Amino acid sequence: MNKSWRFFIVIECLFALLAIWQIINNYLVIVMLGIGLFLMVLSQNNVSETKPKNIKRMIGLTLIFFSLLNIPAVWFMLIFAIIFIGLTGLELSGLQLSNSPFHLRKKMMIVETMEPRNKNGRLEKQQLFGNKRLGSQIYEWDDINLTIASGDTIIDLGNTILPKKDNVILIRKGFGRTRILVPLGVGIHVDCSVFAGTVVFDESRIAMRNEHLMLYSPEYDTSSRRIKIIANTLIGDVEVIQV
């Protein structure tokens, strides 16, 4: 949680610097802010008349408010703050929309096989922001290709059956942690490019700074089922855990 709030403060500071730069290059906004601040100061000095003091203060606040709304970076700050606080509040509340209903817990589930389906033309919308978990329920395996701007991602391969061939997980992420749970006996090939973060695999913890790393599990060459994990991350950790 502390890392999340540090990330939030850093992004907001960057947006604030961008807002200052945009204000400096917009003379109309500078004039409106100047007049608004002047009226605010004038209202503080006017202690004899109550009504003119309140009018000057309201006009000053209105000018400052509308001048800031003309700065795109201010809108970016507000949108990012709303998204981050909303996702953080959902995480703190403990609500997980992907969990099974209470009456389905501790219930035996039987997987039924089916004929191969035509996969051409399948369109799926991806979630750019927020935490994401794949594999909380039994599912049919298909190669995974994810593009995520920000958020933590958990992929659990324990609730599926990997085919006896090379399987692929491709993840492109801006910010956040990635954790992949792989069953024992599956050969693992990790191919990571991380700008700033840590790669955890087979009891190894490797700090990376704009580096590329390739790792193999000891049983990779002899395994009938293999998984190739390709992760391109800007800032965040990549963890591959055998369970």
Residues 87 and 130 in one domain: no
Q: How many CB atoms lie within 10 A of CB 195?
A: 14
Residues 129 and 70 in one domain: no
192, 212 Cβ separation under 8 angstroms:
yes
What band does 230 get if pLDDT is binned at 50, 70 and 90? very high
pLDDT number for residue 51: 58
pLDDT number for residue 98: 45
Q: What is the pLDDT of residues 142-151, one digit of tens each?
A: 888 888 888 8
pLDDT number for residue 212: 92
Q: Look at residue 28 and give its three-state secondary structure.
A: helix
Q: Is the pLDDT of residue 128 over 60?
A: yes
Residues 137 and 234 in one domain: yes
Tell me if 172 is assigned to some domain: yes
Q: Which range is least confidently modeled, 29-38, 176-185, 211-220?
A: 29-38
Q: What is the pLDDT of residues 8-50, one digit of tens each?
A: 888 888 888 888 888 888 888 888 888 888 888 877 765 555 5
Strands 178-182, 132-134: pairing is unpaired
Residues 9 and 57 in one domain: yes
Mean pLDDT for the stretch of residues 168-194:
91
Q: Which domain range does residue 39 map to?
A: 2-93
Q: Looking at per-residue confidence, does 154 or 7 come out higher?
A: 154
Mean pLDDT for the stretch of residues 113-118:
54
What band does 199 get if pLDDT is binned at 50, 70 and 90? very high
Tell me if 99 is assigned to some domain: no
Residues 137 and 51 in one domain: no
Average per-residue pLDDT in the chain? Answer: 79
Closest CA to 87 of 129, 147, 119, 117: 129
200, 186 Cβ separation under 8 angstroms:
no
- Give percent above pLDDT 90 in the chain: 17
Tell me if 117 is assigned to some domain: no
Tell me if 131 is assigned to some domain: yes
Residues 142 and 235 in one domain: yes
Q: How many CB atoms lie within 10 A of CB 173?
A: 24
Residues 40 and 135 in one domain: no
Tell me if 221 is assigned to some domain: yes
Tell me if 118 is assigned to some domain: no
Residues 128 and 238 in one domain: yes
Residues 136 and 215 in one domain: yes
145, 120 Cβ separation under 8 angstroms:
no
Mean pLDDT for the stretch of residues 117-145:
75
Residues 133 and 237 in one domain: yes
Residues 68 and 149 in one domain: no
Our count of domains for the chain comes to 2
Tell me if 98 is assigned to some domain: no
Q: What is the pLDDT of residues 81-111, one digit of tens each?
A: 888 887 766 555 444 444 444 444 444 545 4
Residues 132 and 171 in one domain: yes
Tell me if 134 is assigned to some domain: yes
